[in-house]
Amino acid sequence: MNKHTLFGEGYSHLIPLLLFKKGNGIVHSRFTNGLNIKMGDSLIFIGTTKNGFLPFGIHLNERDTALAVFSVNNGEAVSWNERTNSIEFQNFMISLDRANPFKNEISELKNDQVFESSFTRFSTHLMSIEERTGLDVSIRDFINNYKGFNDQDTTGIDMYLMLLIKAAITSDESLMDKAFRYFLGRGNGLTPSGDDMIVGLLAFDAVTHFLSTRFYDKLSELIENESITTDVAKEYLRYAVKQEYSSTVSDMVNTLANGENENFEKDFQNLLGVGHSSGLDTLFGILIGMLSFKTKKTN
């Protein structure tokens, strides 16, 4: 019996190698905008571009996404058929024959003047947001109080945010370990808020390269060797370590790096709209990255 075929519209340039290497897997999770399949220890997202073009994504239109989500069950077997260039499910297949590969490119920060201008605009925009982050932080209060924070009086999450900034600009592995263990896996959802924040921090480093290699190595050690967060958050972090991000994230940091005013509002709102609080948490992480970069430059 011939299976019904859905056609992908686009896929990350990293997907083919992953499919060829892994071959077989299962349906990991389903939700409104798509589903995740697990092959080996890696996830592949199949669904719409509502949250941007994902570095581990195969994207379908909304109609085909709804059909795919309706037609599968968690735990169902999945396989890659190299001959037909398709991912085969129990009741249908998804072909990549008509899909185009994409790569979400990352820019380099133009200069210090652009950074200062982007920092002012970005922080001003964040201060206009009433909602608190997924970790119950008022970004407005954090920005207002940031310069007055000190080691003796800072408590609660503010203390760990300052710890993370210190870990980002020093080579102190114990600080890195303490900060990562506090934020990784902290919060609700498929991607906990603390993880989204770390992704934002790494995304700003992708345009500035101020973090140490050890910072990346320490993060990788934790996510690969310990059950410290969710499978989906782990996947986003794995790609972030390789400086691969969703288009909503890369567009935002590229706009900051280039000092572009034309796309700023659109890119900001696109990222803000991701998930329940994921977008805001990622934006806050980008701010933490900018503050870390700013602090390192002045030290």
Q: Could you report the per-residue pLDDT of 32-82, keeping only the tens digit for each? A: 999 999 999 999 999 999 999 999 999 999 999 999 999 999 999 999 999
Find the helix or strand (DSSP H, E) in which 80 lies.
Answer: strand 77-81
- From the candidate CATH numbers 2.40.440, 1.10.760, 1.10.3470, 2.60.40, the one assigned to the domain spanning 4-102: 2.40.440
Q: Any idea which of 41-50, 185-194, 210-219 has the lowest mean pLDDT?
A: 185-194
Q: How confident is the model at residue 161 (pLDDT cuts 50, 70, 90)?
A: very high
- Residue 121's pLDDT is 96
Sheet holding 24-31, edge to edge: 4-7, 92-95, 86-88, 77-81, 24-31, 34-39, 42-47, 57-59, 10-12, 100-102
Please provide the average confidence, as pLDDT, over all residues in the chain: 93
CB 44, CB 56: distance < 8 Å: yes
Spans of all domains in the chain: 4-102, 112-298
> How many residues are listed for the chain in this entry?
299
Percent with pLDDT over 70 in the chain: 97
SS3 258: helix
**What DSSP state is assigned to residue 45?**
E
| Residues 54, 12 contacting (CB under 8 angstroms) | yes
Q: Do residues 192 and 229 make contact, with C-beta atoms less than 8 angstroms apart?
A: yes
Give 221-270 pLDDT, tens digit per residue: 999 999 999 999 999 999 999 999 999 999 999 999 999 889 999 999 99
Question: Which pair of structure tokens corresponds to residue 87?
Answer: 């991912």
Residue 98 reports pLDDT greater than 60: yes
Compute how many other C-beta atoms are within 10 angstroms of the C-beta atom of residue 112: 10
Contact 287, 144 (CB under 8 A): no
Average pLDDT value for residue range 174-186: 96
| Cα 73 from Cα 270, distance rounded (Å) | 30
Residue 151 — very low, low, confident or very high, per pLDDT cuts 50/70/90? low
Query: Which whole number is the average pLDDT over 83-94?
Result: 95
Q: Is the pLDDT assigned to residue 88 strictly greater than 70?
A: yes
Instruction: Please give the pLDDT value at position 2.
Output: 64
pLDDT of residue 1: 46
Nearest-5° Cα angle at 48, 204 to 216:
25
Reported as half-sphere exposure (CB side, CA atoms, 13 A), residue 133 has a value of: 30
Extract the tokens encoding 253: 């940091």
* Model confidence at 7: pLDDT above 90: yes
Residue 164 reports pLDDT greater than 50: yes
- Torsion angle, alpha carbons of 290, 292, 295, 299, to 10: -140
Residue 225: how many other CB atoms lie within 10 Å: 8
Q: Where are the alpha helices (DSSP H) in the chain?
A: 15-22, 62-71, 112-127, 139-145, 156-169, 173-183, 193-208, 213-225, 231-241, 247-258, 264-272, 278-298
- What's the predicted TM-score (pTM) here? 0.95
